[in-house]
Chain A
């Protein structure tokens, strides 16, 4: 095994641990809605929410990095340049994440000065990590880019997939620099913040995961490089062709000119297209292979990714990015429903697919299957669907009661939050959250044990 792949294992392990912390913080965030006195004045909603969304970003990022560190040496036929530095930075990265989490929980916030932003909390959604930690993320990403670009330069072996990956790393790094400013003007602040959030999540991350899924397809189904590269280019063209100006759907109400309503509405409506293409292709792949594969969990998680990305990102996004709908749906639990479904479908499922693929190679398994993965697959996906459905109903109630009827005031907000449809949806969401957490436990147990029991049996039989 390459050193880079050993590093990949560390990143994937850290990712799965952070996935657990994200789940706990998510359950807490959901519980505040049911019992607002929970930890009041000790650990308020905003801190649990920050832990939930920031660990979500970090575990997915670590999952991507782990996947790429796993596949790249096989692609290049050698270990990565600068791997020693990357190994050291892994520990620095983990330590930084731990320190930031402790500061969030213990210190929580500082005064209204630059020091607070540098060392405690930046207070911008998704990029709350203090600036020193954001600098750390930049350094980690820069070394990651150096590993990829340096190895490509050293080997002079650049495939279509690695070329796309290398180009994608540039905006991935540059856009993150937007994690630092504290502009007084909220309109300008949100304008640039969306460059970071949207162009990361709905553009560069989509391309990144496209590269990862291309390698996964080649290993899992033996799809030819020519075909995966062809589809990767199509995906890049469609995802970025619609996603770059799809940014406009975040510019409807932040103080930007009215033309964004037309531009954002149009391009957002087109955004599901590449995701629909992925679904069609997944069904085609599944059909041509008669659903037969040596790694069923990886295959099913890959299918879940295609469907989840299309439904959660595409359909759910399309449903409320039409300006006429968004005027009432924006800033309600409708958004939360979309966010959960999209992140889960587009990214989490893909990372889990890669993890099963890695386990197969790691343990030298000819066949990966069993019962436990099915339980975790079902609990996690039904958990997500239940949460997403409940949040959607809550969002409908808010759009109707708070926005359309109530007129969006403080009183209308309270009316919306007290509406039975909203209250019951929050309870339902929490119950499905518990199911999701159970699925996570089963997933981790499966990761730890899958294939091992069979290996032990085989060894015992051989000994006899």
Chain B
């Protein structure tokens, strides 16, 4: 072994890259199974028919989504195909309006507007029902998404991105589904302060 011989390090580079690449591929196969809808970490799209909560799990030592009880979105239970179409539409809204270039999703994005990982579960929507004159949380969200510029909550406002009613509903469905993804406890302490108050 000659440490000053480039051939030694060339062999080292090739073998290191090969080993790491194989490890990454194996982990990827495993992870893709966990993150498919219905996998161990990502719920089926039909989770939008259910009640979703986010609570501290003492065994895991972190907040985890708790799913259970019927709570259809907009009062309408959807089947698997309808749920898939709705979520697909919601994602298209999110991409076409470049939401991620202001907001963050699972903490990834642009930081100029709030993180949307658990937006569906935000305790603030109760107040928004009163502000928008809506009877339900999802209706308040739709009204806000369609005409955000009307509701000034801080100096920073959300612009009107021309969402149709159908697009706004799909976006709300998307946010509800996303809130049920097991994110290993991110964001931490979510809503606990408001709950204490």
Query: A141-149, A183-191, A278-286: which lies at the B interface?
Result: A183-191
Query: A67-75, A117-125, A381-389: which lies at the B interface?
Result: A117-125
Instruction: Knowing that A330-B107, A406-B193 touch, tell me 5 more A-B residue pairs with CB under 8 angstroms.
Output: A182-B91, A184-B90, A255-B42, A260-B31, A407-B189
Given A32-B112, A188-B36, A233-B6, the answer on whether A410 and B12 have CB atoms closer than 8 Å is no
Check B112–A121 contact: CB distance below 8 A: no
User: Chain A residues with Cβ under 8 A from B186's Cβ?
Assistant: 252-253, 327, 330
User: Chain A residues with Cβ under 8 A from B170's Cβ?
Assistant: 112
A277 to chain B, nearest CB (A): 12
Give a binary string over A31-51; 1 marks a CB under 8 Å from any B CB, 0 the rest. 011001100110011110110
In the assembled complex, the Cα of A263 lies from the Cα of B23 at a distance in Å of: 11
Check A253–B31 contact: CB distance below 8 A: no
Cβ-closest 4 pairs across A and B: A331-B107, A408-B187, A123-B95, A253-B186
25 residue pairs A–B, Cβ–Cβ below 8 Å: A50-B101, A112-B89, A112-B92, A112-B93, A112-B170, A116-B96, A123-B101, A124-B95, A128-B101, A160-B10, A185-B36, A186-B181, A187-B35, A187-B106, A230-B4, A244-B21, A255-B35, A255-B41, A256-B35, A406-B193, A408-B115, A408-B189, A409-B122, A412-B193, A418-B154
Query: A300-308, A332-340, A456-464: which lies at the B interface?
Result: A332-340
Q: Does B1 contact A (CB under 8 A)?
A: no
With a 10 A CB-CB cut-off, give which of B37, B91, B153, B157 has the most chain A CB atoms. Answer: B91
User: Chain A residues with Cβ under 8 A from B190's Cβ?
Assistant: 407-409
Check A407–B124 contact: CB distance below 8 A: no
User: Chain A residues with Cβ under 8 A from B27's Cβ?
Assistant: 245, 248, 259-260, 263
User: Chain A residues with Cβ under 8 A from B108's Cβ?
Assistant: 125, 190, 250, 254, 331
Chain A 396-419 residues near chain B, CB threshold 8 A: 403-414, 417-418
Chain B 108-147 residues near chain A, CB threshold 8 A: 108-112, 114-115, 117-119, 122-124
User: Chain A residues with Cβ under 8 A from B34's Cβ?
Assistant: 255-257
In the assembled complex, the Cα of A122 lies from the Cα of B95 at a distance in Å of: 6
Q: Does A436 contact B (CB under 8 A)?
A: no
Q: Does A374 contact B (CB under 8 A)?
A: no
A185 contact from B12, B31, B35, B40, Cβ within 8 A: B35
Chain A 235-249 residues near chain B, CB threshold 8 A: 236-237, 240-241, 244-245, 247-248
Q: Does B24 contact A (CB under 8 A)?
A: yes
Q: Does A420 contact B (CB under 8 A)?
A: no
Q: Does A229 contact B (CB under 8 A)?
A: yes
A408 contact from B95, B118, B182, Cβ within 8 A: B118
A237 contact from B9, B99, B102, B153, Cβ within 8 A: B9
Q: Does B78 contact A (CB under 8 A)?
A: no
A121 contact from B4, B98, B162, Cβ within 8 A: B98
Given A160-B6, A186-B178, A255-B182, the answer on whether A409 and B191 have CB atoms closer than 8 Å is yes
B188 contact from A187, A191, A408, Cβ within 8 A: A408
Per DSSP, chain A at the interface is helix
Q: Does A19 contact B (CB under 8 A)?
A: no
Check A191–B32 contact: CB distance below 8 A: yes
Q: Does A111 contact B (CB under 8 A)?
A: yes
Q: Does B13 contact A (CB under 8 A)?
A: yes
Q: Does B155 contact A (CB under 8 A)?
A: yes
Check A36–B109 contact: CB distance below 8 A: no
Chain A residue with Cβ nearest B185: A327
Q: Does A113 contact B (CB under 8 A)?
A: yes
For chain A, the bracket of interface size reads 35 or more
User: Chain A residues with Cβ under 8 A from B114's Cβ?
Assistant: 410, 413-414
Check B9–A46 contact: CB distance below 8 A: no
Chain B residue with Cβ nearest A336: B111
Check A331–B41 contact: CB distance below 8 A: no
In the assembled complex, the Cα of A391 lies from the Cα of B83 at a distance in Å of: 40
Given A109-B161, A255-B106, A257-B40, the answer on whether A404 and B189 have CB atoms closer than 8 Å is yes
Q: Does B77 contact A (CB under 8 A)?
A: no
Check A247–B24 contact: CB distance below 8 A: yes
Q: Does B17 contact A (CB under 8 A)?
A: yes
Chain B residue with Cβ nearest A120: B96
Check B107–A110 contact: CB distance below 8 A: no
A233 contact from B9, B21, B97, B183, Cβ within 8 A: B9
Chain A 113-138 residues near chain B, CB threshold 8 A: 113-114, 116-117, 120-125, 128
User: Chain B residues with Cβ under 8 A from A409's Cβ?
Assistant: 122-124, 190-191, 193-194
Give a binary string over B149-188; 1 marks a CB under 8 Å from any A CB, 0 the rest. 1000111110111100001001000000010011111111
In the assembled complex, the Cα of A190 lies from the Cα of B17 at a distance in Å of: 23
Q: Does A310 contact B (CB under 8 A)?
A: no
User: Chain B residues with Cβ under 8 A from A411's Cβ?
Assistant: 123-124, 194
In the assembled complex, the Cα of A306 lies from the Cα of B28 at a distance in Å of: 32
In the assembled complex, the Cα of A41 lies from the Cα of B193 at a distance in Å of: 34
In the assembled complex, the Cα of A406 lies from the Cα of B105 at a distance in Å of: 18
Check A182–B106 contact: CB distance below 8 A: no
Check B119–A410 contact: CB distance below 8 A: yes
B124 to chain A, nearest CB (A): 5
Q: Does A440 contact B (CB under 8 A)?
A: no
User: Chain A residues with Cβ under 8 A from B84's Cβ?
Assistant: 184
In the assembled complex, the Cα of A118 lies from the Cα of B90 at a distance in Å of: 18
Chain B residue with Cβ nearest A418: B154
Chain B residue with Cβ nearest A247: B24
Check B13–A233 contact: CB distance below 8 A: yes
User: Chain A residues with Cβ under 8 A from B28's Cβ?
Assistant: 191
In the assembled complex, the Cα of A121 lies from the Cα of B155 at a distance in Å of: 27
A240 to chain B, nearest CB (A): 5
User: Chain B residues with Cβ under 8 A from A332's Cβ?
Assistant: 111
User: Chain B residues with Cβ under 8 A from A185's Cβ?
Assistant: 35-37, 42
B35 to chain A, nearest CB (A): 4
Check A240–B92 contact: CB distance below 8 A: no
Chain A residue with Cβ nearest B87: A184
Check B31–A191 contact: CB distance below 8 A: yes
Check A255–B183 contact: CB distance below 8 A: yes
Chain B residue with Cβ nearest A163: B10
User: Chain A residues with Cβ under 8 A from B13's Cβ?
Assistant: 233-234, 236-237, 240
